[in-house]
Structure 1
Amino acid sequence: MKAILSKQAGGPETLVLEEIEAPRAGPGQVIISVAAVGANFPDSLIIADKYQEKPPRPFSPGGEISGVVAEIGDGVTDLAVGDRVLAMIVWGGLREKVAVDAWRCVKMPDEMPFDEAAAFLITYGTSYHALVDRARIKAGETLLVLGASGGVGLAAVEIGKALGARVIAAASTRDKVELAMRHGATDGVVYGTDADNPRALATAFKTAAGEGGFDVIYDPVGGGYSEPALRAIAWLGRYLVVGFPAGISSIPLNLPLLKGCDIMGVFWGSAMQRDPVRQHAAIQELFELYRWGEVRPAISRRYPLEKSADAIIELASRKATGKIVITVP
């Protein structure tokens, strides 16, 4: 079978397409014939040995897949050959068949196509875990979403709107802000491509928030954007740390003290492993929002398997809007 492999640490240009032996299902595993793979920012980190998990080489990147169960291992009772599933696997997805622990698999809604399924789990799972399980956001609260046109950002906008929050979208261009507003944001802040004027940026955030400040801030960007956003948080607000494509932020600890706010880490992959029962229930709650049309992945581009490196390059450039999906024949 065909597989995209990382055989040395580096950028997407180091990836190669090769023929490898097809896997067999071990105890508690299923084999998935992969139909689509969602591209995510960790894909660019894991192949460069910059992610918290470092799989032995050669390995395939790709942590979010959809496809059809082709084989069942011993002890698997809740899945059957032919089931349409999606799965979050951290790495290993960019190949024609993958051996997956059955607990990582979720049956897809019948009406969900494979490309949307591959664009669903990590972005919406992360954002739902952040807003519901961590921040416990309430209807009527004000939510700021940084990086609002990206995969997790758009998901957070849609989920926030579906849960009754007033959502303010922040992104680097007016076009990106307008995209987020089409997905449910009430208003937006254009912060440019850098944060060389943190005072002006903090003022822009405070103006958009209104007198009370933001009850919840969803930050998948990091870098110089985090402190200005935190300065606009409400008393007893919740600041969600989701990712760092702009760099790891340095936060003066007097700010959480003065605001009486909480800074919360969001690591949905670890949450899934530690409490799979709750996270599978959350996914079913998300599927209900999908069925009602409250959430729907915005796929900006599709690449074939052999162009996987190009997909990861586009994603790492931070120019992509919505989700990028890699399709597997």
Structure 2
Amino acid sequence: MRAWQVTRLGEPVDVMELADVPTPAPGPGQILVRVLAVALNFPDALMCRGQYQVRPPLPFTPGVELCGEVVTAGDGFAVGQRVIGTPAATSGALADYALMDTADTFPAPDVLDDARAAAFHIGYQTAWFALHRRAGLRAGETLLVHAASGGVGSAAVELGLAAGAYVIGVVGGPDKVRVAHDLGVDLVIDRHAGDFVFQVKEATGGRGADVVFDPVGGSAFERSTKCVAFEGRIVVVGFASGVIPSQAMSHVLIKNYSVLGLHWGLYRQQDPDAVREAHRELTKLAEAELARPLIGERISFDQAAEGIARLAAGDTVGRVVVTP
């Protein structure tokens, strides 16, 4: 079968190579799927560089999120069924076939096509746990979303709107402003046009944002501490800026806000039932057309390395999906 492989560490376009490799055989608790679509993720670039917390041995096949068709049945999954999730640790998604652990496999929502189904798992699960499990977002609260036109940011926007929050989205550039408006963001702020702190305070009558969803880090986090509300919650989701902030705890104390971490992958290990319950709730939102992944690009299999590079550079909106 065809598979992209990383043979040495570096930038995706330099280290990813197309190869012909044997089709993997499922082990206990696994199924084999034919890959229908792969949603690219920032960790794909980090893994190519050797900068991610998970470092598979070389060579490895990247791709951490897919929609597939079951080839070998197992543990409640039937041949021909469409499924989504993360591939097994020994099997990347950027291949014709992939292995999936049944514990990390979920039925694909019928209302979503292959590309949107592939992009439905990690981003929406991350946003769900950040907003509902960690921050306890309530109807009527103000939600500030950084990178609101990105993959996980757009998911947070949709879930915030579905929860009845007033959503403020921060983006970079006029094209991304238009995307955020199309998503239904109540107030869109272009960070290139000035500091968002003033606009957030103005929009909230000086109170600030009750919940901040931050997948960016760096100055986005630092400035968010200036416009978070009394008893507000900042959820740290990632560091797409490449800068991990360090916050003075005296400021947290004086302003009486919380900084919450969200490592969604830990829920797969510590509370898998919560992940399955979140999938059920998210599927209901998809069926109600309240959760519909934003697909910025659909690219061919041979364009995967360039797609990961554009994603890592911040040159994309929504999700980039590979269709083998």
Q: Normalising by the residue count of structure 2, what TM-score does the alignment of the two structures yield?
A: 0.95
1:205–1:228 contact (8 Å) kept in structure 2: no
1:40-87 C-alpha deviation (Å, 9 max, x unpaired): 111110110100100111111110000101013xxx431111111001
* Mapping for residues 217-236 of structure 1, pairs under 5 Å: 217-236=212-231
Return the offset for 1:201: 4.3
Which residue number corresponds to residue 78 of structure 1?
Answer: 76
1:46-57 correspondence to structure 2 within 5 Å: 46-57=47-58
* Residue number in structure 2 paired with 1:88: 86
How much has 1:251 moved relative to structure 2? 1.9
SS in 2 for 1:326: strand
**Which stretch of structure 1 is more off in the superposition, 305-314 or 168-177?**
168-177
Please state whether the residue corresponding to 2:49 is helix, strand or coil.
Answer: coil
| Alignment-derived partner of residue 136 in structure 1 | 136
Amino acid aligned to 2:234: Y
The residue that corresponds to 1:117 in the other structure is 117
What secondary structure is seen at the aligned counterpart in 1 of 2:192?
coil
The yes-or-no answer on 1:314 pairing with 2:313 is: no
Matches within 5 A, 1:23-102: 23-72=24-73, 76-89=74-87, 92-102=92-102
Which structure 1 residue ranges, 4+ long, deviate > 3 Å from structure 2? none
Q: Which residue of 2 aligns with 1:166?
A: 166
Task: Map 1:121-200; keep pairs closer than 5 Å.
Answer: 121-192=121-192, 200=195
- Indicate the SS of the match to 1:243: coil
Please tell me whether the aligned partners of residues 75 and 102 of structure 2 are also in contact (alpha carbons under 8 angstroms). Answer: no
* Residue pair 2:111, 2:286 contacting (<8 A) in 1 also: no
**1:18 corresponds to:** 19
CA distance in 2, matches of 1:137, 1:174: 29
Residue by residue, what CA displacement relative to the aligned partner does 1:13-55 show, whole Å, maximum 9, x if unpaired? 2100000011111000000110100011111101101001001
1:226-280 deviation line (CA, Å, top 9, x unaligned): 1111110011111000111112122222221122111111111121222111111
List gaps (5 residues or longer) in structure 2. none
In structure 1, C-alpha distance between the alignment counterparts of 2:307 and 2:317, rounded to whole Å? 12
Which secondary structure state, in structure 2, belongs to the residue aligned with residue 270 of structure 1?
helix
- How far did residue 129 of structure 1 move? 1.0
Identity across matched positions, percent: 38
The equivalent of 1:213 in structure 2 is: 208
Change (3 A) 1:174 1:260: same
3-state DSSP class of the match of 1:120? Answer: coil
Per mean C-alpha deviation after superposition, the further-off stretch among 279-288 and 253-262 is: 253-262
Q: Does 1:275 pair with 2:271?
A: yes
Equivalent residue pairs, number = 320
TM-score by length of 1: 0.94
The secondary structure found in structure 2 opposite 1:79 is: coil
1:231–1:255 contact (8 Å) kept in structure 2: no
Change (3 A) 1:27 1:161: same
Amino acid at match of 1:35: L
What is the distance in 2 between the residues matched to 1:59 and 1:136? 38
Distance in structure 1 (CA, Å) of the matches to 2:171 and 2:110: 34
One-letter amino acid of the counterpart of residue 145, structure 1 = V
Contact preservation (8 Å) 1:188, 1:208? no
8 Å contact from structure 2 (residues 109, 286) kept in 1:
no
The residue identity in structure 2 corresponding to 1:223 is G
- Cα distance in structure 2, aligned partners of 1:38 and 1:139: 30
* Cα deviation digits, residues 122-165 of structure 1 (max 9, x gap): 11111011101111100000000011110111110110000000
**Worse-superposed segment, 181-190 or 54-63:** 181-190
Provide the rounded CA distance (Å) in 1 between the counterparts of 2:204 and 2:102. 43
The separation in 1 between residues aligned to 2:196 and 2:67, in whole angstroms, is 40
- The corresponding residue for 1:253 is 249
Distance 1:77 1:53 in 2: 27
2: CA distance, partners of 1:41 / 1:209: 32
Once the two structures are superposed, residues 108-130 of structure 1 have per-residue CA deviations (whole angstroms, 9 ceiling, x without a partner) of: 12232111111111111110111
CA distance in 2, matches of 1:122, 1:64: 7
Secondary structure class of the residue paired with 1:47: helix
Where structure 1 has 5 or more consecutive residues not aligned to the other structure, the ranges are: none
- Compute the displacement of 1:304 (Å): 1.2
Q: Which amino acid aligns with 2:84?
A: L
Task: From 264, 281, 284, give the equivalent of 2:280.
Answer: 284
